[in-house]
Amino acid sequence: MIDIETNKLLKEWLNDLKTAEQLLISPEDEIIANGLCFHCQQAVEDFLKAFLVHRKKDLHKFHKLEYLIKLCTNIDKDFEFLFLMNLDLTTDATEVRYQDEFYSPSLDEAKSAFVAAQQSKELIFGKSKVYGKDL
């Protein structure tokens, strides 16, 4: 069972994944790929932070997935697989956010980012023993 603070954060932080889901149900020619990638990256970032809060780790304002994954991996080695899965997700979101060197991900890349966000959610919710009924 999750504590009240983690539950509150997860409910709030599920918004980015819900936004990504809404983008995906749009007709393909209307999907904004960089927006989808951004919300997927934000969702993974927030899920990682919720896991750390659940484990009573002090959080500062970190935004790098690689660093957050490392913090989680220090707690549980099962998080190591997120390094490979989230490399493209991190790159896409950063380049979309900082458009000095503009990059627009393809729809396939955006869909892959969504799959990565869902898989991250499943891992993190499982490790935190979060179930739909808890939210």
pLDDT digits over 46-68, tens only?
888 888 888 888 776 766 888 88
Cβ pair 77, 36 in contact under 8 A:
no
Please state the domain extents for the chain. 4-134
Specify the pLDDT at position 52.
87
* C-alpha distance from residue 4 to each of 9, 21, 34, 49, 94 (Å): 9, 26, 33, 15, 31
Fold of 4-134: Four Helix Bundle (Hemerythrin (Met), subunit A) (1.20.120)
84-127: pLDDT as tens digits: 665 556 544 444 455 555 667 888 988 988 988 888 888 888 88
Residue 28 amino acid letter: E
Residue 91 is classified by DSSP as: H
d(CA 121, CA 62): 18
- Secondary structure letter of residue 26 according to DSSP: S
